[in-house]
Amino acid sequence: MSDERRLPGAMRERARSEFPGIGRVHRGHLEGRGVSIALVASRFNEALVEKLVEGAAAELATLGASPQQVDLTWVPGAFELPFAAQRLARTGRYDAILALGVVIRGETPHFDYVCAEAARGLAQVARNENLPVLFGLVTANDAAQAHARCGGKSNKGTETARAAIEFLSAMREVR
């Protein structure tokens, strides 16, 4: 399959056209051969997170990533994702890290603190370690929303894996 056919519809149309006044366009493609990926997943809401992990692993395989180049690390909860992502980044073994988890709003502000710190921490790891760290954390107001995003209507794990491969490719084009 050509790179152009792997792009979403709107991107495919733009890939065919030229942008007047622009010399280079770095778009990336969906070819995962040769990439090394770390998945870090939260055990809290584990049944849902397992669906995210399955979706990510399946998408990475579909895009050509070797299972031997995809590692999975489990942590207790979403709050621990940034620390684990940083530890994995510092090994130097990975091209990208996918952080996967599910946080469902409860009756207290705990949800807000966990989600905000996970997002902030993962972004900080990406910047500090100069490594793509993708945010595959489902933040849902209720269980129905979480189920819909973990394999019901969509799968955030699949989406995150696809984004990782495209992002890695685009960043390699920039070099």
Residues annotated as catalytic (active site), given as ranges: 110
Q: Assess contact for 39 and 81: CB atoms under 8 A.
A: no
On whether the CB atoms of residues 96 and 35 are closer than 8 A, the answer is yes
Q: Cβ of 121: how many Cβ atoms within 10 Å?
A: 20
DSSP state, 69? G
Cα–Cα distance list, 153 to 148, 150, 158 (Å): 5, 8, 12
**Phi-psi region for residue 94, left (φ > 0), alpha (ψ -120 to 50) or beta?**
beta
Among the listed residues 103, 100, 5, the one whose alpha carbon sits nearest the alpha carbon of residue 55: 100
| CB-CB contact of 141 with 37 (8 Å) | no
